[in-house]
Homo-oligomer: A and B are copies of this chain.
Amino acid sequence: MNNQKKYLIKFIPSGKSIKVSKGYNLKQAILDSGIYIDSSCGGVGTCGRCKVCVKEGKVNTKKSKFISLKEKENGYVLSCLSRVESDLIVEVPEQKKVKAKIVDGRFADSEFKTYAGVSNDELSSVEIKPWIKKETIVVEKPSLSYGTSDLFRLKKSIRHNLNLEDCVVPIHIIRKLPIVLREKNWEVAVTIDRENSTLIDIKPGSASGKSYGLALDIGTTSLVMYLVNLEDGKIINSESEYNPQIKFGEDIISRIVYSNKKGGLEKLREVIIDSINNLIWRLLLNSHIDADSIVSMMVSGNSTMMHLFYGVPPRYIREEPYVTVANKFSSSTAKEVGIKHIKNAYVYNIQGVASYLGGDITSGILATGMYRKEELALFLDLGTNGELVVGNSEWMMGVSCSAGPAFEGGGVKCGIRAVDGAIEKISINQKTYRCQIGVIGGGKPRGICGSGMIDVIGEMYLKGVVDRKGKFNKDIGNKYLKCMNNDCQYILVDSKESATGEDIYISEVDIDNLIRAKAAIYAGIKTLLEEVDLSVYDLEKIYIAGGLGKYLNIKNAVIIGMLPDIDTSKYFFLGNTSITGAYLSLLSEDRYKQSTKIAEHITYIELSVNMKFMDRYVAGLFLPYTDMKDFPTVEESLYSIDGKLKK
């Protein structure tokens, strides 16, 4: 056999194709051809999410519990377990494809207050005074009686006009200085980085053009970038994109593992920088702004994302004792970190606290304003990791608890991210057990996202579909419950009504994953508060950030025992606070300095070795909690429905 023979694989419906050698891994071929395919297990056949349909040709595939007999007959395989044996036509199912534009700007449509990332009084309290901005100065002309150097006279003018004692002027700027100074009769527009007292840029004439900055959030799942007018603080435009590192691993841990491979770190850095360059390019194209007028970029992200962005090995983040290389990186030119288009702009980053409490959380605290208020507040960022900070202007304390991928659609058979087609809301008819659903984007459903999952579990528990342990009650006459041996599935959407043509259901394994996730969050909250001898009733405000927060039904989150059972008017949704913190820091010298103070101010508690946390976690493996006393309104609801407490 000739292993060098190349086979042509055509992918539908994308129309893309690729040539690969015999025996090549099919999932890799899909990724190589630029098509995104979901796979939270990293390609070892345990998550079942890289399912594709081989329409023509032959593959050598392994058995999988995720492929039903009927599916097998129709050509379905797990691409990660399949090897190419001939030319192929492969359908990569529509619902697994990444949409370029992330659904954004929608927030919980519940009765709770909603904010677009930052509260109005927080925004209005910000004085727009970026520390990088173009400014016009006039430099004194030389004469025979005043024959000092161009540089000396420039520095003198900066000192007098911009109140900066000693400004560093790098060689590459000195090189063009004589020409620039003389071009418009000694009037120049200067851009100064006040963090390093360095002249970044100088142009002939007045700073008539506006100054712009970029705020960037590097999330594990997605990137969001704002183009901001630094004169008035307005967001001109925004762009977002999935984090392209997803193809090397869905979560932080799998990316760190990948970064340890030969060339892995550089590859991860390359793809993220490419994406950022792409975002910048799109913003520039759409806004018709001169690239040179962008003077700064403020980056926020979790510790691993920041390490990968700067090309720093994140390896020790996942090895005990779990330390970062740096929680804050030196400011640098865009060019130094590989950013194109805006080469001379300066890049700053928001300081993080610890390996699992990064700059994204500092940004969040900045966005809430809780760091400067007396009231006791809790900040929650809910995603794969749940990051929690409690405190006020006097003190702050934070933890990180691994919630697993359940909230982002992982570890759940019909789970998908909060994109168009995801079931975000569910209510169950008490009599028929039929589900009524709300779908993001309004079309036919393709799966269920984190908030939908919380809804369905809350509803199932409230309506008696499951017991306190999350096991199905099989004796209530629920005709949507299908069992085979001991394996039961509760059908949320019938195959005829779904976009995929298959049932959308939830299994006990799915429920179990969700319960473990919510138990971790609540255990984190309890442990944190108990560290300072406080209880959930002392909290005056709870800020919820992160992707999950956007669609979350607080009442259901309380019912399942994930969030504290306190007055729901104390809950506030803030959406993506990482980008908000970056945005505020870009606008305001004061806020940027605050972000550093916040990061230094937060005491981090490592939960992985905390026995109290373990106790609370185990206690949380019930709905809503082992001790019902923690959830009085849930107890009440259960009584109010049918007059007796469900077990």
How far, in angstroms, from A324 to B609 measured CA to CA in the complex? Answer: 64
A residues 149-201 near B (Cβ < 8 Å) are 149-152, 168-172, 174-175, 177-179, 196
A143 close to chain B: CB less than 8 A: yes
| B315 and A178 within 8 A (CB) | yes
Q: Which residues of B contact A320 (CB under 8 A)?
A: 144
Q: Which residues of B contact A148 (CB under 8 A)?
A: 323, 327
Closest to A269 in B: B175
Given known A143-B321, A144-B320, contact A326–B170 (CB-CB < 8 A): no
Q: Which residues of B contact A609 (CB under 8 A)?
A: 144
Given known A168-B330, A330-B169, contact A325–B144 (CB-CB < 8 A): no
How far, in angstroms, from A80 to B169 measured CA to CA in the complex? Answer: 42
Number of interface residues of A (CB under 8 A): 46
| B178 and A336 within 8 A (CB) | no
Q: Which residues of B contact A323 (CB under 8 A)?
A: 142, 147-150
| B326 and A174 within 8 A (CB) | yes
A407 close to chain B: CB less than 8 A: no
How far, in angstroms, from A606 to B179 measured CA to CA in the complex? Answer: 24
Closest to A355 in B: B147
The contact string, 1 if C-beta is below 8 Å from chain B, for chain A 119-151, is 000000000000000000000001110111111
Closest to A351 in B: B149
Nearest-neighbour CB distance to chain B for A141, whole angstroms, equals 9
Q: Which residues of B contact A313 (CB under 8 A)?
A: 175, 178-179
The number of times this chain is found in the oligomer is 2
How far, in angstroms, from A590 to B320 measured CA to CA in the complex? Answer: 45
Q: Which residues of B contact A196 (CB under 8 A)?
A: 168
Q: By CB atoms of chain B within 10 A, which of A144, A178, A313 has the most?
A: A178
Given known A179-B313, A313-B178, contact A332–B149 (CB-CB < 8 A): no
A residues 496-515 near B (Cβ < 8 Å) are none
A31 close to chain B: CB less than 8 A: no
Given known A143-B321, A144-B321, A147-B606, contact A171–B329 (CB-CB < 8 A): yes
Closest to A609 in B: B144
A310 close to chain B: CB less than 8 A: yes
Within 8 Å by CB of A174, from B143, B168, B170, B325, lies B325
How far, in angstroms, from A327 to B151 measured CA to CA in the complex? Answer: 8
How far, in angstroms, from A459 to B521 measured CA to CA in the complex? Answer: 100
Within 8 Å by CB of A147, from B147, B152, B322, B336, lies B322
A337 close to chain B: CB less than 8 A: yes
How far, in angstroms, from A144 to B607 measured CA to CA in the complex? Answer: 10
Nearest-neighbour CB distance to chain B for A304, whole angstroms, equals 13
A residues 616-647 near B (Cβ < 8 Å) are none
Nearest-neighbour CB distance to chain B for A518, whole angstroms, equals 26
How far, in angstroms, from A53 to B51 measured CA to CA in the complex? Answer: 84
The contact string, 1 if C-beta is below 8 Å from chain B, for chain A 594-610, is 00000000001010010
| A325 and B171 within 8 A (CB) | no
Within 8 Å by CB of A325, from B150, B324, B337, lies B150
| A178 and B321 within 8 A (CB) | no
Closest to A153 in B: B323
How far, in angstroms, from A326 to B196 measured CA to CA in the complex? Answer: 20
A395 close to chain B: CB less than 8 A: no
How far, in angstroms, from A390 to B168 measured CA to CA in the complex? Answer: 31
Closest to A141 in B: B321
A354 close to chain B: CB less than 8 A: yes
How far, in angstroms, from A355 to B172 measured CA to CA in the complex? Answer: 20
Q: By CB atoms of chain B within 10 A, which of A315, A321, A326, A355 has the most?
A: A326
How far, in angstroms, from A246 to B593 measured CA to CA in the complex? Answer: 53
The contact string, 1 if C-beta is below 8 Å from chain B, for chain A 365-408, is 00000000000000000000000000000000000000000000
How far, in angstroms, from A497 to B160 measured CA to CA in the complex? Answer: 68
| A178 and B325 within 8 A (CB) | yes
| B604 and A147 within 8 A (CB) | yes
A312 close to chain B: CB less than 8 A: yes
A23 close to chain B: CB less than 8 A: no
A264 close to chain B: CB less than 8 A: no
How far, in angstroms, from A129 to B329 measured CA to CA in the complex? Answer: 30
How far, in angstroms, from A336 to B179 measured CA to CA in the complex? Answer: 21
Instruction: List residues of A whose CB falls within 8 A of some B CB.
Output: 142-144, 146-152, 168-172, 174-175, 177-179, 196, 310-313, 315-316, 320-330, 332, 336-337, 354-355, 604, 606, 609
